[in-house]
Structure 1
Amino acid sequence: MSGPRPDVANGRGQGWAAWGVRRGDIILSLQGGLGNQLFQWAFAQALISEGRTVWFDRVRCRGDRPYALAGLVPRSALLDPLRGAALAAAERVGLIHDDSALRLVKQRRSGYDPAVRRGLDGTAYLRGYFQSPMYFPAVADDVRRRILAHLDTLLLPAGSRFAEELRRDPGVVAVHVRRGDYLTDPAAAARHGVLDRGYYDRALSSMADLGYTRRVWFSDDPEWVRTHLAAPHDRICAPGLTSADGGEIALMAACGARIVANSSFSWWGGFLGRPSTPTRPVVAPVVWFAGGHSDARDLIPDGWIRV
């Protein structure tokens, strides 16, 4: 795949050629943290498998949500940052819209939005979180394999040994607790909210009934988990196992059973491991979004247990 032509002016007019792409190409504007970017990448793999050319635009990946797909996206598929900034500016002032030659295709509803697929019949500037496996069913196995292979590279030697230990233990359950911005960011708190102890008590009880009594906790606030949730004999994922946060997803996926939090980061820990079965379940919360403003029916795979 060749890069955008350097002699093409950035954003003059509304035509697709003005942005250095070919007719029928898709520019995917990445956004959010690692979990969200993985959903967007997975959707892109479905489109690529159908013969579409996808450019990955990183301009919205900044601050505490940096670009996190190095190792999954070839450099030749990355949109030039200056062109990405020009595209974002053009969208803001209305040069890119539903009827422009470079069409704005935007996810309009939570979960799976079938209108997105219908809008991709031409050259498109694609925006959304695409938080549903329904966006990539035909390539789900390939997505799982490639993401796991990438995340395994983020394990340090001690992390690789720990992952192998987890794979060998049939009675270990991964438990993920998301706090961080769900407490400190008002927008994240209003959208998601922190799961209460009752959820973890119910989930752990159902796991204990199945024989999962050895617990490994994963959290962005491990000391709080140690004080408020973990039993004395439980293990808490320690520093020095991964070179980046994504390595923790690989460790969660290595466990035979998983209890996930209401976050996309946690979702991948459930999805990438062994498929959920009655004896090796993935447990997710019934209430994924705070306030009931949307549901997670399109997000939670069949076979997961919700409590």
Structure 2
Amino acid sequence: MGRRCALFTGDGRLGNQLFEAAFLDGILQTGDRLFATGMEEFLNGFDWERVAVRNREDTYKRRGFKRWLRRLGRMAVALRLVDGIGQTKQDFASGERHYLLHGSDVVQKRGIFSRFLYVDKGYFQSAEFAGEPSFRLKDEHKAAARAFLARLPAGPRAFIHVRRGDYRHWKIFDRSPLLPMSYYLRGIEIIKAAAPDTQFILLSDEVEAATAELGLSGLHVFSGQNVYEDLAMMTLCDGGIISNSTLSWWGGYFCGRKLPLISPRGWLATGLGFEYPAGITGPWMTPIEP
């Protein structure tokens, strides 16, 4: 059949783009071509050699163009001209309210010109979709984290990623996604039980507030110059405590995993009896109640 050509219009910041790229990495073959929009944060920070990518930067002025591309791709799939693949939606119930959101399955459709593939909008935020991607963080982004770690006392290293910032003003299932500090403190105790001499490294978009709330003696604080340096620090640790953030998820995925990797049970749906996004908890995680 020869090399395939795929079209995908990405959304979100680096953590979301990593999930999107991982899904694409799993369905495309070496040498396939990807025409994309909105994947620039991922492409600027990661080496991805097996797929030839041409990306158009996603700006506010180009949102109309992205919507037009999606309509065109969906029409081509509906007319069975090209192959199509997309993430299905499922019903999530919280109390008396129901939410139709992306689920844990995909649907595929075959077209006449199977060399061409349209990948519909989706974040693909599950451990199964992530698979074992071939891309890796560019080495240039690891220098600051390596220099910081070299100055620490001996012992295993665990990161603590506290997400605040925009989460203070966002709601999902009509609730705030903010995790209580007690979640992080319980995670610290679990890791200490596994390795008492662990050095803990805090990363947060509100470093001063998080440091004060944790009240942990001997805590090391790392603030990278950009999101890639923060991610690099997480990947160079032996384990850690992740927030319900996609960036944190990938920090945990790429870290050494020699220590427990604590995650919030339910993720963005803590205490509701289900997990959202569905399937986001990986088998390498130790989920606990926040």
Paired position in structure 1 for 2:233: 251
- Paired residues of 1:111 and 1:132 also in contact (CA < 8 A): no
Paired position in structure 2 for 1:126: 120
Which residue of 161, 167, 190 corresponds with 1:176? 161
Cα offset, 1:259, TM superposition: 0.7
Paired residue total: 262
Q: Output the CA distance in 2 between the equivalents of 1:265 and 1:103.
A: 30
Which residue of 118, 129, 132 corresponds with 1:135? 129
Which residue of 202, 206, 211 corresponds with 2:186? 202
Cα offset, 1:97, TM superposition: 6.7
CA deviations 1:80-99 (Å, max 9, x no partner) are 56998535125469973751
Determine what percentage of the aligned residue pairs are the same residue.
Answer: 23
Identify if the C-alpha distance between structure 1 residues 79 and 103 changes in structure 2 by more than 3 Å, giving closer, same or farther. farther
Q: Does 1:48 align with 2:28?
A: yes
- Matching residue's letter, 1:86: F
Which residue of 86, 99, 102 corresponds with 2:78? 99
Identify if the C-alpha distance between structure 1 residues 71 and 255 changes in structure 2 by more than 3 Å, giving closer, same or farther. closer
Q: Output the CA distance in 1 between the equivalents of 2:67 and 2:14.
A: 21
| SS of residue paired to 2:28 | helix
Paired position in structure 2 for 1:263: 245
Q: Output the CA distance in 2 between the equivalents of 1:84 and 1:120.
A: 28
- Paired residues of 1:173 and 1:255 also in contact (CA < 8 A): yes
| SS of residue paired to 2:141 | coil
Q: Output the CA distance in 2 between the equivalents of 1:245 and 1:95.
A: 33
- The alignment's C-alpha RMSD in Å is 3.4
CA deviations 1:246-273 (Å, max 9, x no partner) are 2111101211121101110100111001
| SS of residue paired to 2:158 | strand
Q: Output the CA distance in 1 between the equivalents of 2:122 and 2:52.
A: 22
Q: TM-score, normalised by structure 1?
A: 0.72
CA deviations 1:172-205 (Å, max 9, x no partner) are 2211100111102345x84761111221121111
Q: What residue ranges of structure 2 are gaps of 5+ in the alignment?
A: 90-101
Identify if the C-alpha distance between structure 1 residues 192 and 45 changes in structure 2 by more than 3 Å, giving closer, same or farther. farther
Structure with the higher helix share, 1 or 2: 1
- Matching residue's letter, 2:164: R
- Paired residues of 2:235 and 2:252 also in contact (CA < 8 A): yes
Q: TM-score, normalised by structure 2?
A: 0.75
CA deviations 1:38-75 (Å, max 9, x no partner) are 111122222333664322222xx7xxxx7442253689
Taking the TM superposition and a 5 Å limit, the aligned residue runs for 1:7-156 are 24-49=4-29, 52-58=32-38, 67-72=41-46, 77-80=53-56, 85-89=64-68, 91=70, 96=75, 98-100=77-79, 101=81, 105-109=85-89, 110=102, 112-115=104-107, 118-119=108-109, 122=114, 123-137=117-131, 139-140=132-133, 142-143=134-135, 146-147=136-137, 150=138, 152-155=139-142
CA deviations 1:17-52 (Å, max 9, x no partner) are xxxxx9952111111111010111122222333664
CA deviations 1:202-226 (Å, max 9, x no partner) are 1111111112442111111101111
Q: Output the CA distance in 2 between the equivalents of 1:215 and 1:162.
A: 12
Structure with the higher strand share, 1 or 2: 2
- Of the structure 1 ranges 39-48 and 296-305, higher mean CA displacement relative to structure 2 is found in 296-305
